[in-house]
Amino acid sequence: MPNSLRKQIKRVIFRAFGPLLKQIIKVDNRFEYNGIQLSIPDGVFHPRYFTSTKLLLNWINENKVEGKRVLELGCGSGVVSLTASQKGAQVTSSDINPIAVQNLIENAKTNSIELTVVQSDLFAEIPTETFDVILINPPFYPKNPDKVEDNMWFCGDDFQYFKKLYLQLIERNESGEILMTLSDDCDFERIQQLALDKGFTLIEIVRKKGLTEDNMLYRLERVN
Ligand SMILES: C[S@@+](CC[C@H](N)C(=O)[O-])C[C@H]1O[C@@H](n2cnc3c(N)ncnc32)[C@H](O)[C@@H]1O
């Protein structure tokens, strides 16, 4: 199906069902994954409704993370972090949103799963140790967030999130695996160009085709 038609279908679906979906997400505050019980408060990215989270979960399930130092940058509900920890990884989870951070601390306790949770704007408060694996499901719509919860969607009107992310990865000399999800609803050319400007490239390793959008998992690799 041509991309323009899919975008049109998506627009129609969202116009018809968007407000209802928002209401459903608002009141749907429980989620269960592989025996992990999660509470999902309003204002935290809900993993039930987004394929992007599932791509990260699938990656963890298909790869050996046991014993590895894993960072989930922008953890939202924390289902990805908790799953990695359950599989034996040594996990640090971060989010800019204090509601997500507090909620994950409580979810970890409820499930007796150990991880380190940090409130941080990207790497600002992350310990200086480097990581074997960094998992990112980023916000990618180019708009400035008004409220802290908006960070789940908006990366800044000039893609500031990505500029800062790539710069900090260089500054910290992160040399482990870096995996990032995107969908074909994002401005991939811009996000890729910003990566190239800092000496990275995004290599697609998984594509999940959907009715209204495709979701992809990329590996961020150094170009030189
Ligand atoms: C699309 S959600 C993904 C949540 C979770 N990783 C998942 O896959 O379900 C993006 C998350 O990144 C967080 N975020 C956005 N900008 C951030 C920043 N500058 N620093 C840390 N976290 C950020 C948001 O608050 C949100 O929880």
Q: How far is the CA of 139 from the centre of ligand 1 (A)?
A: 6
- Residue among 97, 119, 180 whose CB has most ligand 1 atoms within 8 A, to mutate: 97
Q: How far is the CA of 2 from the centre of ligand 1 (A)?
A: 30
Q: How far is the CA of 138 from the centre of ligand 1 (A)?
A: 6
Q: 71-94, pLDDT tens digit by residue?
A: 999 999 999 999 999 999 999 999
pLDDT of residue 79: 98
Domain boundaries, the chain: 3-222
* CA 50 to ligand 1: nearest atom: 9
For residues 32 and 138, give the distance between their C-alpha atoms in angstroms, rounded to a whole number: 22
Give the single-character DSSP code of 176: S
Q: What's the rounded mean pLDDT across residues 104-117?
A: 98
pTM value is: 0.94
Tell me the pLDDT tens digit for each residue of 176-200. 999 999 999 999 999 999 999 999 9
CA of 51 to the centre of ligand 1 (A): 15
The pLDDT value recorded for residue 69 is 98
Quick one: pLDDT at residue 85?
A: 98
Distance CA 74, CA 137 (A): 7
* 3-222 topology per CATH: Rossmann fold (3.40.50)
Say if ligand 1 is within 6 A of residue 96 CB: yes
List % helix, strand, coil for the chain (3-state, nearest 5).
40, 25, 35
Tokens of 151: 């960070």
Q: Are 213 and 181 in contact (CB under 8 A)?
A: no
